[in-house]
Amino acid sequence: MKLKRIDYVFIILLIVLTIISIDFLLNEAHREAIENLSKYPPFQNLASGLLITFLVCLIGNLLPIPTPYTFVVCFSSLPFLQLNLIIPLIVALKQV
């Protein structure tokens, strides 16, 4: 069976995503940047935070390869837990 060019592209993308995921696991500074995602100014505003989260989920679902976008959903809804408990549930339902 001969591999096509698109197969090589997907293999390279999977390798890059695997390396990025391992980097987030092992590098404390990079992991901290993701865990503090909700402290960035765009995520402090409800409308822009939900819009950014929606766009990340949309792009993550459109890609034909699995992408680790769940961390954005989890950490972007943290500032809104004090506002209303329903908002993080809406964010979680957007992912499904």
Kindly report, residue by residue over 13-50, the tens digit of the pLDDT: 888 878 887 887 788 887 787 777 767 777 777 778 77
Please say whether the beta carbons of 83 and 38 come within 8 A: no
On the question of pLDDT at 8 being above 80, the answer is yes
The dihedral over CA atoms of 38, 55, 28, 75, expressed in degrees to the nearest 10, equals: 40
User: How confident is residue 83, by pLDDT bands cut at 50, 70 and 90?
Assistant: confident
Over pLDDT 70: what percentage of the chain?
86
**Closest among 36, 64, 65, 40 to 52, alpha carbons compared:** 40
Contact 91, 50 (CB under 8 A): yes
CA-to-CA distance for 1 and 46, rounded, in angstroms? Answer: 51
pLDDT at 94: 59
Q: Is 48 left (phi over 0), alpha (psi -120 to 50) or beta?
A: alpha
